[in-house]
């Protein structure tokens, strides 16, 4: 394996999370409930958090956002200052735009129809083109996130047009993967993209409606899960209750992000009727069927590999041992913004119980391998602890392609499976063997057919077209390019997407 292929100083082993959404309409303790809801969704983003609230009756919307964890951004005094029986909240990892306070969500603006706030999970693949058009017509942007595009589209009023028609027209102009929470002065609106790439669920508590990226947040506040928002559905919640309308865009297929089951969602969540923890166990069972190993012990890489390792152990009959102990006060390595901190986290995130593996043949089960650097470190740790053999098993297929729909995957050149064969990866990791779950096995474990999912990070089959240079800093780079190259760049890129 080429020496330059992977750096031992680059610990971004896992794909980076996207964002979490939570909203409440019609509850006296809406702000407190949203705070706890965001707490339950903290795993989806740890860069910033925010809440916008409203008491209705023409009173202005109130907003508080900050950098850091939910517990760092909010305290009792701040929560008491956010009044109202309705609000939307957001936790963020930056998949478009830099990690900066100006990009924290929900975003709030004043316009001809009053105040509007928006929180967004996902990516708009044509946001930079829409932004150019909006700026050319006089719109002034305050952030570098694609989410702000929605607000500007919603403020473009047409004479005699109803609010619902404006919303459907605006959503018809954006493309990509998204779950949205939009808050006006009289309602909260939940939206899921036409393919259903990003999840969004509806719950109820004491007569109030709740919207959340994951059902685990309902459990925390004792809300009852009602149903998932359907792909291409617009859910409008106001004093009259819940009203559902469809987008104008035709539904071609579904494309739920399969990586929600593999890694992103909490194991105590239910997505599209499937328990995430049970799907992960079945992925482990299927992995044991496809890639068996002669071994003495199965060791999960916590926490995301725990359920797959349990399934592997059940299917193979090899006992499971929790040999890696996670330091829960570190947080996910890839969510820290500086390289220095991330390097430190890789060294202290997991510690090994030597007695659990010494002199044994070990199967180490992880949910994914992206660059391979931390996986290699784990194999080295096992060898140093006296493991006789180390067999690496991965409960998903090899990642060969970046994601452009709201997951901050590395580029293709940085993905170890895109550049190297399993045999080369095995040699780089220093393992005795390596085995990945097949694509078919992964789908089988979910209980759904392959055409239910987006699996572009494995297959390269992207359900929504995108620009070749699309990445999280595309808006900053595009603005610089336009200054030097002129407006022909806009027209060229528009033609690419037609």
Number of other residues whose CB lies within 10 A of the CB of residue 450 = 14
Q: What is the dihedral angle through the alpha carbons of 126, 127, 133, 136, rounded to the nearest 10 degrees?
A: -150
Tokens of residue 38, six digits: 């965001």
Which listed residue (19, 257, 291, 403) is catalytic? 19
Give the separation between CA 44 and CA 9, rounded to whole angstroms. Answer: 25
Give the separation between CA 34 and CA 54, rounded to whole angstroms. Answer: 13
C-alpha 281 chain-centroid distance: 21
Whether the CB-CB separation of 392 and 364 falls below 8 Å is answered with yes
Strands, E assignment, 359-477: 361-366, 389-394, 433-436, 453-454
Question: Annotated catalytic, 257?
Answer: no
Give the separation between CA 303 and CA 264, rounded to whole angstroms. Answer: 11
Give the separation between CA 396 and CA 301, rounded to whole angstroms. Answer: 14
Strands, E assignment, 184-303: 188-192, 201-205, 208-212, 224-228, 233-238, 241-246, 256-257, 270-271, 274-275, 297-300
Would you call 305 helix, strand, or coil by DSSP?
A: coil
Hey, what long-range contacts does 379-386 have (CB within 8 A, 24 or more apart)? 379/429, 379/430, 379/431, 380/430, 381/350, 381/352, 382/299, 382/352, 382/357, 383/430, 385/352, 385/354, 385/357, 385/358, 386/354, 386/357, 386/358, 386/359
Give the separation between CA 417 and CA 366, rounded to whole angstroms. Answer: 15
Whether the CB-CB separation of 31 and 25 falls below 8 Å is answered with no
Whether the CB-CB separation of 32 and 101 falls below 8 Å is answered with no
Q: Which positions are catalytic?
A: 19
């Amino acid at each position: 394996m080429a020496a330059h292929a992977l750096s031992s100083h680059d610990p971004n082993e896992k794909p980076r999370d996207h964002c979490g959404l939570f909203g409440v309409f019609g509850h006296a303790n809406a702000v407190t409930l949203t705070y706890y809801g965001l707490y339950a969704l903290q795993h989806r983003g740890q860069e910033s958090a925010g809440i916008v609230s409203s008491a209705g009756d023409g009173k202005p919307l109130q907003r508080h956002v900050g950098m850091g964890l939910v517990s760092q951004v909010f305290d009792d005094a701040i929560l008491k200052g956010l009044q109202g029986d309705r609000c939307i909240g957001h936790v963020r990892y930056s998949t478009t735009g830099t990690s900066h306070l100006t990009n924290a969500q929900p975003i709030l603006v004043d316009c001809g129809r009053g105040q509007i706030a928006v929180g967004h999970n996902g990516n708009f693949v044509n946001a930079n083109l829409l932004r150019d058009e909006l700026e050319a017509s006089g719109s002034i942007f305050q952030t570098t996130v694609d989410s702000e595009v929605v607000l500007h589209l919603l403020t473009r009023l047409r004479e005699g047009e109803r609010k619902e028609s404006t919303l459907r027209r605006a959503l018809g102009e954006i493309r990509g993967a998204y779950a949205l929470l939009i808050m006006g002065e009289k309602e909260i609106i939940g939206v899921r993209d036409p393919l259903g790439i990003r999840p969004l669920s509806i719950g109820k508590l004491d007569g109030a409606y709740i919207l959340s990226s994951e059902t685990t947040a309902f459990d925390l506040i004792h809300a009852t899960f009602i149903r998932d928002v359907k792909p291409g559905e617009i859910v409008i919640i106001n004093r009259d209750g819940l009203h559902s309308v469809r987008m104008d865009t035709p539904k071609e297929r579904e494309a739920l992000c399969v990586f929600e089951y593999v890694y992103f969602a909490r194991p105590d969540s239910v997505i599209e009727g499937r328990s995430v923890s049970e799907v992960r166990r079945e992925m482990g069972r299927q992995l044991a069927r496809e890639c068996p190993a002669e071994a003495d012990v199965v060791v999960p890489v916590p926490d995301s590999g725990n359920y797959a390792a349990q399934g592997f152990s059940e299917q193979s009959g090899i006992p499971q041992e929790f040999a890696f102990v996670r330091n829960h006060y570190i947080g996910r390595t890839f969510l820290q913004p500086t390289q220095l901190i991330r390097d430190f986290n890789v060294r202290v995130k997991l510690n090994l119980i030597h007695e659990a593996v010494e002199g044994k043949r070990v199967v180490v089960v992880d949910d994914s391998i992206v660059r391979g650097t931390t996986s290699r470190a784990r194999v080295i740790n096992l060898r140093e602890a006296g493991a006789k053999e180390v067999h690496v098993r991965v409960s998903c297929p090899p990642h060969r392609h970046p994601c452009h729909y709201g997951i901050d995957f590395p580029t293709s050149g940085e993905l170890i499976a895109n550049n190297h064969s399993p045999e080369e990866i095995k040699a780089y990791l220093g393992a005795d063997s390596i085995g990945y779950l097949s694509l078919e096995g992964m789908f089988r474990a979910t209980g759904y057919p392959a055409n239910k999912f987006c699996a572009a990070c494995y297959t390269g089959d992207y359900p929504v077209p995108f620009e070749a240079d699309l990445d999280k800093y595309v808006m900053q780079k595009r603005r610089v390019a336009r200054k030097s190259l002129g407006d022909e760049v806009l027209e060229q890129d528009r033609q690419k997407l037609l």
